[in-house]
Structure 1
């Protein structure tokens, strides 16, 4: 071990860095032994152990460090371990860690075994001699970007990498003629070059050397000759100058960037929050949050959580008109489409539970149980599998009060029928924990486009009444059958207030008033037309029903087809969907109903000013 006498007299902490590639076994036992030894000696730092060797950074009193090295070198595996030494006035490490790793330096390339063979090592003094003589040689800095920025050898090339794992790809970008001249690579202490050298030789580089001991050893023997700046170190000192003394640089705890004194004194430096290199304006921070949330939403929706079998739950609350009936009578009247025998079978199987007001299980219900007003029963539905959805949800806008998405189709907005986990609100819920998003308006599962949700109760109290009062401006795009004889048309046909047995509505002279404006955008060669649609009221299925009433039903509308367009040709057949799923296709179900909510204009709950939300056109509208 070498040392600087002047440093020893001024400093009391000895810092050592060392590594050795050697095959190791009994890693857990070695870990426990080394941890106990360091704790007893009062040393701090990090030791990495792996089957390929050891890598360590330690600091403590000189005598204690020497005692540690004496004990370590008594193990034949580490008998010739060499260290790089420097001194400091303070302890640069906060604690002592001994960790087990797959590799002591992460690389991810098989077949590289430095303990068996590595590239020739060039001593520090020899490199200086080459540089003094002006010998033709390429200097390659294999360190990360932020290390390179602090300092490097004059004329050295950088690979523009953020992590050493990127090194294998980065060398592919080096010019072909670089393989024909002597190349000297270097890093902080030499360990990265142990793996980088053999890889470069494998890639065809003819004469590869690694700086023995890295930059720190060069500083120790040659000072600042041919070197500009300082060297980043992985401890509290942050960076060392060529005299192996701390430079006073500061590390940003957020982005890990090394800061100068001027950057430290910048208004953009906030301890633990930002520095001039990672500072973002409030608007940029907001955009980043939205982008992150949008990515998370796409990833979650792509898993189609409802398509994985699970035990579904259906909660049934007893209304006043059905109170006092036996449970079986309540169930058959509560949901008439379900056969009475099916309810009896579920009751016999113990799948109908009586619940408390807090939804705790009170017991298994019987068919004769008399139900009470407000009472809750829960049906257990094992092996529930929901229909597939289109998961390509876009997050259009987000602030403290609103969330706005471009909903694809098919995708229900909220749990209903066969959909629960595969619904928009269920997919959004994990991304907004401790919040209860409130839907501001309706949009059918088969319709794509803008959906507005409120993050706060106060916001919903301001936004939802706008939809109820029909003061919100909505624009749709629709593809309809036929070529209308008119360019613009308003339909004022009243719509029935109650649904039919099939769930649809009808034109009813005694129904609710409704008005829809239609404007032809394009008449298409396939016999269909693209329309801009403006609903002036908000009745259920209004656009679909009015379009059909005018003789131009929407393409893909099985509920309101025209006389010469069969329902079969307009609907997504369940057999087709099943085929998609069974084939393992990654493509989502396609939108069949050609109706898209293109934009919504409303008064923002915070600013009380108009705000417009616009959704990109779906593929069918862009192709039209």
Structure 2
């Protein structure tokens, strides 16, 4: 019988909790095993499927990995490359990169207890493995360094952005902390150095409708649509061609602060995406994006304590902007 509220109206069904698949394979050099559910398809062998599904890895490389026991079934038993393809089974494998670029900066652990961990991320480092980064990602570095296989990020910041990232340590206690970001109960404070022109006036609050652009690499503002993003903005200091801003995102859309600053005529210094997408090349470590996740505050959902964490990092151009005019 369907439950009703006090007025007799039917209550909406509770959202189904997502059950996370449990890996039968251990963490390997900081990398937890990934999984793939085999779809219906024409492949004759497992090797045929992996070659087509993951084209950045050669057929010979997949063959060698399977022979070495690096691909397994749901029970953790290694599979052979010539094994017949059977749809609707889950296979586990460790991701590897042959020529991964090194990121010559170190992360810092600011706080750790049995429930959460707070890291201070450098510029250029992705939070999780992506594209050409695996061992250089913040998550894998921390897992390898601390040996915490259950470590999981509770939110993300861009690879180019430095600063505070909150992790869950105990997967059984992850949901209440995840809800802080879903329900906008975590207060995030950023700082940025932006290109500036005298006379530019910034609003105290900027709202707009953000959506993916045609390339899906960037986010753009759509005029006429109801706002789905909001950022609070405070000018800390302007000095010539640059200014120092405090930014507080109320919502958490992709690239939100970068898009809002560019749309207001004050793009963030060294941003290769906004206002213009520049060709991708090797990282220029002398030009970090001048955006920092400075602080994170929230009420701990499990014990009610006020939590506040601040980055120990500073934007490279901060002292230049705050220097007195000669």
With structure 1 as the length reference, what TM-score do the two structures score? 0.41
Quick one: distance in 2 between partners of 1:372 and 1:462? 35
Partner of residue 372 from structure 1, selected from 87, 90, 96: 87
State the partner residue of 2:24.
Answer: none
Quick one: distance in 1 between partners of 2:122 and 2:128? 14
Partner of residue 567 from structure 1, selected from 270, 275, 278: 278
Instruction: Tell me if structure 1 keeps the 8 A contact 2:35–2:91.
Output: yes
State the partner residue of 2:268.
Answer: 554
Quick one: distance in 2 between partners of 1:455 and 1:554? 33
| Structure 2 CA distance for partners of 1:446 and 1:360, relative to 1, 3 Å | farther
Pair 1:317-2:36 in alignment: yes
Pair 1:474-2:170 in alignment: no
State the partner residue of 1:621.
Answer: 318
Q: CA RMSD in A?
A: 3.4
Instruction: Tell me if structure 2 keeps the 8 A contact 1:395–1:404.
Output: yes
State the partner residue of 1:608.
Answer: 304
Quick one: distance in 1 between partners of 2:274 and 2:79? 45
| Structure 2 CA distance for partners of 1:416 and 1:317, relative to 1, 3 Å | same
Instruction: Tell me if structure 2 keeps the 8 A contact 1:390–1:410.
Output: no
Quick one: distance in 2 between partners of 1:351 and 1:620? 48
Quick one: distance in 2 between partners of 1:396 and 1:450? 9
Larger Rg: 1
SS at 1:478 equivalent: strand
SS at 2:158 equivalent: coil
Unaligned runs of 5+ residues in structure 1 are: 1-304, 307-311, 578-588
Pair 1:433-2:150 in alignment: no
What are the Cα deviations for residues 475-524 of structure 1, in whole angstroms up to 9, with x where unaligned? 1001222336214342211111x575352222235587111122222223
| Structure 2 CA distance for partners of 1:514 and 1:313, relative to 1, 3 Å | closer
After superposition, where does 1:289-328 map in structure 2 within 5 Å?
315=34, 317-318=36-37, 322-326=39-43
Quick one: distance in 1 between partners of 2:264 and 2:101? 33
| Structure 2 CA distance for partners of 1:556 and 1:324, relative to 1, 3 Å | same
Tell me by how many angstroms 1:381 deviates. Answer: 5.2
State the partner residue of 1:486.
Answer: 201
SS at 2:229 equivalent: coil
What are the Cα deviations for residues 376-425 of structure 1, in whole angstroms up to 9, with x where unaligned? 2658857x132222423222222332221211111111222221111212
Quick one: distance in 1 between partners of 2:94 and 2:227? 36
State the partner residue of 2:3.
Answer: none
Instruction: Tell me if structure 1 keeps the 8 A contact 2:47–2:59.
Output: no
What are the Cα deviations for residues 319-371 of structure 1, in whole angstroms up to 9, with x where unaligned? 6xx42342688568756xx4xxx76x5258724746311443210148xx545
Quick one: distance in 1 between partners of 2:91 and 2:261? 42
SS at 2:79 equivalent: strand
State the partner residue of 1:192.
Answer: none
Pair 1:350-2:47 in alignment: no
After superposition, where does 1:117-132 map in structure 2 within 5 Å?
none
Tell me by how many angstroms 1:598 deviates. Answer: 0.6
Instruction: Tell me if structure 2 keeps the 8 A contact 1:446–1:591.
Output: no
Quick one: distance in 2 between partners of 1:471 and 1:561? 30
State the partner residue of 2:25.
Answer: none
After superposition, where does 1:248-267 map in structure 2 within 5 Å?
none
| Structure 2 CA distance for partners of 1:604 and 1:492, relative to 1, 3 Å | same
After superposition, where does 1:496-511 map in structure 2 within 5 Å?
496=211, 500-508=214-222
Instruction: Tell me if structure 2 keeps the 8 A contact 1:351–1:380.
Output: no
Equivalent residue pairs, number: 284
Quick one: distance in 2 between partners of 1:329 and 1:552? 50
Instruction: Tell me if structure 1 keeps the 8 A contact 2:36–2:92.
Output: yes
Instruction: Tell me if structure 2 keeps the 8 A contact 1:390–1:408.
Output: no
Pair 1:419-2:116 in alignment: no
Tell me by how many angstroms 1:545 deviates. Answer: 1.4
Partner of residue 239 from structure 2, selected from 508, 524, 537: 524
Tell me by how many angstroms 1:446 deviates. Answer: 0.9
Quick one: distance in 2 between partners of 1:531 and 1:330? 50
| Structure 2 CA distance for partners of 1:398 and 1:364, relative to 1, 3 Å | same
Tell me by how many angstroms 1:590 deviates. Answer: 4.3
What are the Cα deviations for residues 575-620 of structure 1, in whole angstroms up to 9, with x where unaligned? x75xxxxxxxxxxx34521110011111124431222111132333
Instruction: Tell me if structure 2 keeps the 8 A contact 1:476–1:597.
Output: yes
| Structure 2 CA distance for partners of 1:395 and 1:316, relative to 1, 3 Å | closer
What are the Cα deviations for residues 421-479 of structure 1, in whole angstroms up to 9, with x where unaligned? 11212222244335522212111111001111122235422211011111111110012
